[in-house]
């Protein structure tokens, strides 16, 4: 006679139980250049945010840095503004271009 426990286990088992789950499809577009621009923009954002933190500290307590000349408001503010405009935003624009242009034009990569 058959073992009733063995039969019920095979009935309850899904026919797809032994198959591997589907793997996520790899993107057909190479995003390595966009990733490098993104990482660079994150580094620059961290640097210019630190300048912004110095500025905010000087707004709250003007004598916080004890008169250190290179941390004065008039020197840090232009560095913060130029850093945001020229460093962070420029890197993000190039990241967006390297990410979107291959998808927009249907190209597999960008070459010069």
Q: Where do we find the tokens 């790899």?
A: 26
Backbone angles phi, psi at 14, to 5 degrees: -70, 145
Mean pLDDT of the chain, nearest integer: 84
Residue 97 structure tokens = 């271009």
Q: Which residues contact 1 (CB under 8 A, 6 or more apart)?
A: none
**Which residue ranges make up each domain of the chain?**
30-105
CA-CA distance, 10 to 5, in Å (whole number)?
9
- pLDDT of res. 106: 83
DSSP state of 14: -
**Chain segment 37-76, per-residue pLDDT in tens:** 999 999 999 999 999 999 999 999 988 888 888 888 889 9
Instruction: Please state the pTM of the whole predicted model.
Output: 0.68
């Amino acid at each position: 006679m058959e073992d009733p426990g063995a039969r019920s286990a095979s009935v309850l088992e899904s026919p797809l139980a032994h198959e591997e789950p589907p793997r996520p499809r790899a993107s057909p577009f190479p995003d390595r250049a966009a990733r490098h621009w993104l990482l660079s923009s994150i580094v620059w954002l961290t640097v210019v945010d630190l300048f912004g933190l110095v500025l905010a500290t000087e707004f709250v307590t003007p004598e916080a840095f004890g008169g250190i000349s290179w941390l004065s408001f008039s020197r840090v503010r232009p560095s913060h503004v130029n850093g945001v405009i020229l460093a962070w935003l420029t890197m993000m624009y190039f990241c967006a271009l390297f990410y979107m242009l291959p998808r927009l034009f249907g190209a597999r990569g960008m070459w010069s």
